[in-house]
Structure 1
Amino acid sequence: MKNLLTIAIILTALFYIFFRPSTSFEFELFLKVLPIAFIILYAILNMPKSRHLIHYLIIIGLVFGAVGDVTLHHFTIGLTAFLIGHLCYVVAFMTQWCSSFMRATSIVPIILFSYIIGHGLITSIVNSGKQSLIMPIILYIMVISFMVWTAIMTRNLFAAIGAILFLISDAILAWNMFVVEIPYASVLVMLFYYGAQYLIAKSLKDF
């Protein structure tokens, strides 16, 4: 069943990214969220028989990701949904924290990357006169950066890679939206995003 779901996730994701028809807006949203619906089901099937808080929080985080998908055209609403999803991931990953100096040092490149992206975004937003977005975006950057670090600190490879892909996806999305257009941005954003959510769902079996 899980193998069939993986195939369904890949096929529906690729169809949305490369072949979705330009029909109604509602149908496009349906196609966009369909891979996430399969990923949520995949995550549920990946939950071990002995379930803990982390398993339920990751499922809730995936659900809020789906909400963010269908509301992102209302930017602040979509951003809030993804923010709540990331907070669920943060709390989930913190329950599996494994202390390690080497893994802890990963906070340095995370902060550096987030600072560079954040500085560019805020500068562009200020210049465009959209100052009301500054605080929500700063908060979002802080939370997703912390989410990546906590994922790395779990020692779960799938969770760590998934979180990193999520950060890259959001960085491309925001840079393309507020700073400068990036070639094939929509393709890159969704490839990294679906990959991120799939790997986070897959990580459940190892928690």
Structure 2
Amino acid sequence: MKKLLLIALVLLAVFTLTRSERYSWRQKLTITIETPAGEVSAASVSQVSWRKHWVKTDGMGWDYELTGEAVVVEVTPGHYLFALLKGAGVTEYMGTVAAASIVGRKGRVIDGALFDEVRDRNDRAAGVITVPEYQYPMLVTFADITDPASVELIDPADLAASFGPGVKLKSVVLEVTDEAVTKPILDGLLGWLGPFPEPALGPATGGSGSVPFYRLVHMGYFLRRPE
């Protein structure tokens, strides 16, 4: 009896110390670019799932899953900009941006945990933000789209350096949506994309020199398939 009581007390302690909350939503990232020929834009819808967990003795943390693909904009014929699932600044994924801040109709910040509540209220305006520059996704292009190692980092403040005069980034907008997750198109455009786990875009070079940029970019930044 004492042994059973002890087990029960241990289970109760674990239940008390450990709690979890889950939130999930679909989000749409839209990139708009100004060019001499007019504006061009593209969007991609991803599924994001977050689980908040904490143990009173250890603190709080988050686990997340993301399914979707990068936004790809054909800026000029045959020349593409990719807004990756990887963040360029302090964010790991665009799901982090969504979880961190959503601007309501009166400008107030709504905690990301309220995404489901926002959707349930059909408060569409409360689920749209203009992403600040420090939370932009990583922007890249390819000198040769058939060669993953030719990936090049794009400066969001100077798209002209990559695409020519008169080209500039107009907006990066993130919104909660009821739209379906975008059907993958990158498999057809980037024939070299592989399955999970996501390797870097080129082989290791060895030596003690600087790491080439393609080693810092992984296939999973372009496409995250359901696991």
Structure showing the higher helix proportion among its residues: 1
| TM-score past 0.5 threshold | no
The two structures have a TM-score, normalised by structure 1, of: 0.23
Structure showing the higher strand proportion among its residues: 2
Q: Which structure has the larger Rg over C-alpha atoms?
A: 2
The two structures have a TM-score, normalised by structure 2, of: 0.21
